[in-house]
Amino acid sequence: MAGRRAAPQRRDAQSNQYDILAGITPVGTGDWIRLGLYSYPGWGKTSLAGTAAEAGRTLIIHSSLSLLPSRILKLPNLEHFLADNWEQMLEVQEYLRMSQHPYLWVWWDCVSIDQDVLLDDVWDATVAEKPARAYQIGADGKPGKPNLSPTSGLDRGEYGRNMERIQQWIRHMVGANSFHFGVTFHPHEGQHPTNDEGGSLLRPYVQGRNMTEKICGYMNMVAFLEVIENDDKDLKWRRLHVAENSRFYAKDQYDAFLPKGYTDNPTIPKIMRAIEGARGKPLGGTYHTTNNGPRRRGRREQ
């Protein structure tokens, strides 16, 4: 009897072993690009993100405050989704994670702006639940003037909820292995995201303590885009940096642009070709970029 009772346990253990072996696969964590792109307003980060449409169908997610530049509005394969509240952000996230979507690239442009719009949404929800928060409370305990004080209006709770949702949203998008994912930011000067040696440098701006460090940690490439001009100031071009220096933070876990650590006049297909060359194998996705432009490739099994 003891032997018969133990037999199902042995079969379960054997089955579990087979399940584990089925999950052991060749290293492929870099099959999908996770690109953090930051630049000053007007320096071309959204236009660069839009060139992803030259490689395959691309979706840009943004708020009504983040306007798309006219130079990319007529690009084929480029679509956008307007999200001014967290309900809309979660709807598009659910669609991209759970459905058979058609996109090769998905971008959130620009978190440095949209985080304020989404914070307003958090505040609106707070006021809907606790209407008195929208007004100053007088000595008599009754609501008075509209609450515009930073000490009695938005507080740590609202900022904390917004930060948590931003972090979770990006984390879940990074974990969805069915599209290349990019996030754009504005720059700001702050502590180096990965060391404590002191000093400051330019880095992506995300509101909240340690948020920049967390978001940069999710990315396998963080790039700073700047406008360069010649000595005569009569010629300008864009340069994408993926190697950090004392002026700005950047990283490239693909080593795609060694030894220079930058590329001039970048496009997303150009970046994809460089990454594929460094990896020695194609990236994930429906399209595979080549020197002759994009060509069709079958969707990877998930």
Asked if residues 115 and 206 have their Cβ atoms less than 8 Å apart, the reply is yes
Q: Is residue 1 part of a domain?
A: no
**Is residue 257's pLDDT more than 90?**
yes
Whether the CA torsion 285, 291, 296, 297 is positive or negative: it is negative
Query: Domain total for the chain?
Result: 1
Whether pTM exceeds 0.85:
no
Q: Is residue 7 part of a domain?
A: no
**Is residue 14's pLDDT more than 80?**
no
Q: Which domain holds residue 176?
A: 37-296
Q: Is residue 28 part of a domain?
A: no
Q: Is residue 9 part of a domain?
A: no
pLDDT digits (tens, 9 = 90+) for 218-254: 999 999 999 998 877 778 899 999 999 989 999 999 9
pLDDT digits (tens, 9 = 90+) for 47-105: 999 999 999 999 999 999 988 888 888 889 999 999 999 999 999 999 999 999 999 99
Q: How far apart are the C-alpha atoms of 126 and 124, rounded to whole Å?
A: 5
Q: Is residue 5 part of a domain?
A: no
The domain that contains 230 carries what CATH number? 3.40.50
Q: How far apart are the C-alpha atoms of 243 and 35, rounded to whole Å?
A: 14
Mean pLDDT of the chain: 83
Q: Is residue 24 part of a domain?
A: no
